[in-house]
Amino acid sequence: MGAFLLRLKLLLADRIASVCYVLCVIVMVSVFLNMNIHASETSRVPVGVVCESESQIAQRLKNALLESDALRVTCGTMDELEELLMDGYIGSIFIIGDEYEEKLKNGIKEDLIKVITPSDDTSSIVVQDIVAGYMMYDVCYYRTYDVYSSLPAETGREDDNAGGVDRMTASEYYDYVAKLAENPMYGFEFDIEYIDIDRSDNKNVNITVAMIYRQIIAGLIGMLLMVLVVCGCNGFALEKGLSIDKRRKTVGRSYARDHMLEMLAVLVYLTPAVLLSSLIMLGESGMGGASFIFLIGEAFCAFFILLCFVLAKITGSASSYQLVGTIVCLVFGACGFISTFSAVTGDTVLGGTPVALYIKGFADMLV
């Protein structure tokens, strides 16, 4: 146990390093916690809406977009929203023009709304699909009303009373459709069943878009742990540079056992950070999930401590070790994020890399 205690004492005795460690972990965990608390809101797609029309239909569309679960809408003037677009705070601007209602009433279904996007942008097409969902009701209503208003005055039935039917006015017809739309039998919904084909027990879980956001937070936590491990193992590289290893051998210390205990000491030193990071999503994962996240966090750190130990021994100098450690963090971190995003856009690549596995383990606990 001597080697374990010695390493732990060495780590804790460096007061500046310990203060930096505690401060950094607190700041980073606070940032991640903030991101997680707002995950549902911030995972919505940010768009700007300029409503130039005062008509009831245009205002209704604006309000529906403001209440949308999929969009985060900022309303404002063109100049204000242009500035937000330039600063990267929104991805596109939808302009509901003065003539919106008029076009609908005339049965026009092309170019109803202007969309301003950065040039060559294709991602806003998905946003258009969402906005179209909110426009669809009114577009369909006016097209149907057009057919209704052009119906013959005579019903055409043999038992028809002479004089024709008592036709509804546009507003009466609108109320008639609205009343029907309120009927719960008309709310069409897909019966969505989620099946994890790799895990038969993981059926019909609750999956939302916020899940993607939380996977990115999990990747960031993974990167934080990696960076902490690289810093925590700095001592191995410093000692190698100062030839302390060789001196140890001359006094006959058990090389493998001592190093195992030292690595265990680094793991214990980093455990408070792992514990804090596993509690970030306690609300989503529950106590059992958080415990599992803590365990995979410990396993993840143990793997990286072993890797950093080997790197420290190979590089032999503290500055080279820092550089190599940084590269390892960057490469594995990038692989994790590429794996997550490649899954969204196509086939998963680099899914077997450590950060990608950590993200997957984390995500499994959130559903």
Partner 1 sequence: MIKKDILLFISDAKTLLVLAVLAILCVTGIFIARGASSPTNITVGVVDLEQSGRSEMVKTYFAENEDFKSFITVTEGTEEEIRELFDRGGLDFYFVIPENFTDEMIRMKNTPLKAVVNSTDKAKAAIYGALLESYSRYITSVEVNVESLTFSMREEGYDPSLIKEKNVEISFDLVFTALGKDGFFERIPYDRMASLPLTDHYIYSVLILLVLYAGMLTGYAVLLERKSGVRARLVSCGISPFRQIVSKVVVYGTLMTAAFIAVVSVMKAFGNIEFTFGAGVYLTFMIYGSCIIFSITALVIRSRNGYCFFSNMAILLMTVLGGGIIPVMYLPGALSSFAQYMPAYRFITFILTR
Please report where in the chains the tokens 């026009």 appear, as a residue.
Answer: 108
Smallest gap from Cβ 116 to partner 1, in A, equals 5
Instruction: List binders of partner 1 among 139-178 (CB under 8 A).
Output: 139-141, 143-144, 147-148, 151, 155-157, 160, 165-168, 173, 176-177
CA 275 to chain centre: 22
How many residues line the site for partner 1 (CB under 8 A)? 144
Instruction: List binders of partner 1 among 23-62 (CB under 8 A).
Output: 24, 27-28, 31, 34-35, 37-38, 41-43, 46
Sequential DSSP letters for 11-45: HHH-HHHHHHHHHHHHHHHHHHHHHHHTHHHHTSE
Binding mask 101-140 for partner 1 (x = CB under 8 A): --------xxxxxxxxxxxxxxx-xx-xxxxxxxxxx-xx
Among 6, 212, 282, 306, binds partner 1 (CB under 8 A): 212
Is residue 201 close enough to count as binding partner 1 by CB under 8 A?
A: no
Binding mask 333-362 for partner 1 (x = CB under 8 A): -x--xx-xxxxxxxxxxx------------
Of 10-18, 244-252, 275-283, 295-303: span binding partner 1 (CB under 8 A): 10-18
SS3 262: helix
Binding mask 59-78 for partner 1 (x = CB under 8 A): -----------x--------
Among 315, 332, 355, 358, binds partner 1 (CB under 8 A): 315
Tokens of 346: 């196509």
Smallest gap from Cβ 194 to partner 1, in A, equals 4
> Toward partner 1, which CB reaches closer, 257 or 363?
363
Question: How many other C-beta atoms lie within 10 A of the C-beta of residue 316?
Answer: 13
- Residue partners of 239: CB distance under 8 A and separation at least 6: 245
Tokens of 200: 């038969």
Tokens of 211: 């899940």
For residue 141, what is the enclosing H or E element?
A: helix 124-149
What does each C-alpha distance from 88 to 75, 118, 212, 275 come to in angstroms? 16, 10, 20, 35
Instruction: List binders of partner 1 among 214-253 (CB under 8 A).
Output: 215-216, 219-220, 223-224, 227-228, 230-231, 234-235, 238
**Cα separation of 72 and 258, whole Å?**
55
Tokens of 336: 């994790």
